[in-house]
């Protein structure tokens, strides 16, 4: 029997943290994760300090009591801002514009003047002992199949340093991730059940993927706040895969019900989502005591001109693009690959040259992979050779009838092998009598095959032959 979410007073909200694809938020360093050995190491100890309220936050105090030493690995792409040795630069304007795009999609009210804040974080993941965060917009909403969900806030903040190792006495972090812009979306607790939580997470993910964000594992983190009758709010951190949300939420409900039935109270805390769908205690729930104003930066003013400019550059929503691609005949797999390989804009530009959507998608997505496999090369290496300019030239040659559809792959193979473009599109004029003789030999060597099978053999053996002429010859000779 399923859970009666309404009867137990289920409430849930989501917080999504998504890396943006720009330079860092308060300096000009690149947002690139390094795999090579670090260039230097520094060591620090951090201490909890009182927030704006004059009190020390419970979560900060919990971390301070561990008295760990923190080791930071840096590179030649690490600057003094990241080491907390100089004041931050003013906020990254590109990151701000992306945040405004997201806020617009979420129907949120953009704040004309807002204060950049410091959020106390002393687990070592920030060299300064705090994370800079700024509220950009609030009071938005989205419509889902299960109803309207309110958007509490849209914030911009710095990502933390990357953990390398941790033990009882020390923790080692890498500074390459520290300061990467994160957009944080927090919903109101409007979700009606676990399935609704998953639906909202996927819906917000689609909106974010319409904007300039980083892709891949670790670039998005999702937290869920859950409560039921008789208990306080529990924050569950660490969701990478929305598929685990329903199982984890239902397990957390069962855990809370067990605590309540034993006569105890469910106290507010932060728990970590485990791969099994269970959760474990992480730390006490942080509160307002850890927030205080950033004194090294002025108030952030988001003028009407900045907002208007962001609306001019507002990207298309992914779901709208998907619908348009479906209308012109692309299948679901082709659409998925266009997004995955980030080739939507290139596809549109090529479509303006030659209005054959399926063929263009095949040239962009399928043929380079086939050639890489055949030539035993890395796909990235083939993509670098068959860049946007090369593919554009090939499609233009097809439109101007300099090459045939059947010759496209041959041209691309020649270019990958090192031929210049003009040489690659040169094909000798076939003597039909000679070609017909070759086709007859192929048919006699493998009797009893279908027309399509002979077509494949002919196209493979007789490079550059026109497909229509080939099938006509096969039909004549098979009879």
Q: Which residue has the higher pLDDT, 468 or 211?
A: 211
Max Cα distance, the chain (Å)? 94
Cβ pair 24, 179 in contact under 8 A: yes
pLDDT single digits (tens) 76-103: 999 999 999 999 999 999 999 999 999 9
Mean per-residue pLDDT over the chain, rounded: 88
Nearest to 74 by CA among 172, 166, 218: 172
Encode 426-443: b = buried (16+ Cβ within 10 Å), e = exposed: ebeebeeeebbeebeebb
CA dihedral for 69, 55, 138, 16, sign (positive or negative) = positive
Weakest mean pLDDT among 64-68, 125-129, 173-177, 448-452: 64-68
State pLDDT tens for residues 28-55. Answer: 999 999 999 999 999 987 766 566 666 7
Examine the pLDDT at 318 and tell me if it is beyond 80: yes
pLDDT at position 447 is 77
Antiparallel, parallel or unpaired: β 170-174 and 69-74: parallel
d(CA 14, CA 16): 6
What average pLDDT score do residues 450-476 get?
A: 71
Question: pLDDT tens for residues 194-210?
Answer: 999 999 999 999 999 99
Q: Is 93 in a helix, a strand, or coil?
A: helix
- pLDDT for position 391: 94
Q: Look at 61-65, 181-185, 295-299, 379-383 and tell me which has the smallest mean pLDDT.
A: 61-65
Sheet holding 162-166, edge to edge: 40-44, 69-74, 170-174, 162-166
Cα dihedral 27, 129, 118, 55, rounded to 10, equals -170
**184 in Cβ contact with 151 (< 8 Å):** no
- Note the pLDDT of residue 453: 77
Whether the per-residue pLDDT at 62 is higher than 70: the answer is no
Q: How confident is the model at residue 297 (pLDDT cuts 50, 70, 90)?
A: very high
**Mean pLDDT of the 107-124 span:** 93
Q: Rounded mean pLDDT of 371-397?
A: 90
Q: How many helices (H) and strands (E) does the chain have?
A: 17, 17
- Which residues make Cβ contacts (< 8 Å) with residue 378, sequence separation at least 6? 372
The whole-number pLDDT of residue 402 equals: 87
Cα torsion for 208, 211, 214, 215, to the nearest 10°?
A: 60
Query: According to the model, what pLDDT value does residue 53 have?
Result: 65
Q: Environment class of residue 205 by beta-carbon count within 10 Å: exposed (0-12), middle (13-18) or buried (19+)? A: middle
- CA atoms of 415 and 393, how far apart (whole Å): 12
Write the CA distances from 101 to 16, 108, 312, integer angstroms. Answer: 16, 10, 10
Q: What backbone phi and psi angles, to 5 degrees, belong to 153?
A: -155, 155
> Which pLDDT band holds residue 479 (cuts at 50, 70, 90)?
low
Rg for the chain (alpha carbons), in Å? 29
Specify the pLDDT at position 439. 74
pLDDT at residue 406 above 90? no
Q: How confident is the model at residue 57 (pLDDT cuts 50, 70, 90)?
A: low
Once rounded to an integer, what is the mean pLDDT over residues 165-185? 94
- Using CA atoms, how far apart are residues 74 and 127, in angstroms rounded to an integer? 12
Between these two residues, 8 and 447, which has the higher pLDDT value?
A: 8
Q: What is the pLDDT of residue 66?
A: 65
Under the banding of pLDDT at 50, 70 and 90, the label for residue 290 is confident
For residue 243, name the pLDDT band (cuts at 50, 70, 90). Answer: confident
Q: Greater confidence, 448 or 125?
A: 125
What's residue 467's pLDDT? Answer: 64
Whether 393 has a pLDDT exceeding 80, the answer reads yes
pLDDT band at 141 (very low <50, low <70, confident <90, very high): very high
| Residue environment code for 3-19, b if the CB has 16+ CB neighbours within 10 A, otherwise e | bebeebebbbbbbbbbb
């Amino acid at each position: 029997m399923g859970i009666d979410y309404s009867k137990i007073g289920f409430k849930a909200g989501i917080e999504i943290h998504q890396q943006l694809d720009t330079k860092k938020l308060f300096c000009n360093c690149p947002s690139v994760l390094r795999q090579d050995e670090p260039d230097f190491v520094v060591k620090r100890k951090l201490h909890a300090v009182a927030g704006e309220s004059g009190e020390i936050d419970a979560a900060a105090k919990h971390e301070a009591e561990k008295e760990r030493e923190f080791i930071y690995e840096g590179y030649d792409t690490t600057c003094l801002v990241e080491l907390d040795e100089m004041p931050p630069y003013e906020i990254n304007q590109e990151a701000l514009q992306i945040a405004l795009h997201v806020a617009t999609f979420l129907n949120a009210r953009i704040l004309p003047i807002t204060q950049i804040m410091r959020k106390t974080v002393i687990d070592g993941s920030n060299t300064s002992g705090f994370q800079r965060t700024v509220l950009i917009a609030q009071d938005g909403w989205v419509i889902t199949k299960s109803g309207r969900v309110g958007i509490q806030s849209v914030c911009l903040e710095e990502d933390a340093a990357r953990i390398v190792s941790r033990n009882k006495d020390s923790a080692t972090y890498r500074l390459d991730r520290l300061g990467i812009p994160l957009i944080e979306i927090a919903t109101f607790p409007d979700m009606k059940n676990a399935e609704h939580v998953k639906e909202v997470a996927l819906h917000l993910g689609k909106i974010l993927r319409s904007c300039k964000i980083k892709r891949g594992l670790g670039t998005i983190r999702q937290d869920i706040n859950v409560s039921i009758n008789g208990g306080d709010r529990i924050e569950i951190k660490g969701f990478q895969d929305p598929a685990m949300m329903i199982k984890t939420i239902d397990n957390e409900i069962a855990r809370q019900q067990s605590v309540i039935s034993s006569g105890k109270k469910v106290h507010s805390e932060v728990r970590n989502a485990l791969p099994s769908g269970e959760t474990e205690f992480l730390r006490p729930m942080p509160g307002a005591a850890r927030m205080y104003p950033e004194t090294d930066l002025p108030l952030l003013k988001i003028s009407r001109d900045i907002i208007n400019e962001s609306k001019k550059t507002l990207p298309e929503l992914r779901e709208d693009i998907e619908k348009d691609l479906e209308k012109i005949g692309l299948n679901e797999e082709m659409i998925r690959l266009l997004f995955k390989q980030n080739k939507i804009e290139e596809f549109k530009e090529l479509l303006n040259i030659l209005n054959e959507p399926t063929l263009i998608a095949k040239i962009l997505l399928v043929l380079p992979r086939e050639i890489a496999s055949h030539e035993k090369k890395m796909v990235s290496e083939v993509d670098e050779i068959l860049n946007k300019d090369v593919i554009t030239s090939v499609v233009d040659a097809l439109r101007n009838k300099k090459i045939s559809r059947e010759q496209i792959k041959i041209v691309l193979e020649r270019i990958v092998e090192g031929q210049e473009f003009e040489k690659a599109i040169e094909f000798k004029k076939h003597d039909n009598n000679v070609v017909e003789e070759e086709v007859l030999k192929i048919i006699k060597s493998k009797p009893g095959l279908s027309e399509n099978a002979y077509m494949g053999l002919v196209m493979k053996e007789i490079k550059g032959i026109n497909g229509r002429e080939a099938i006509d010859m096969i039909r004549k000779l098979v009879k």
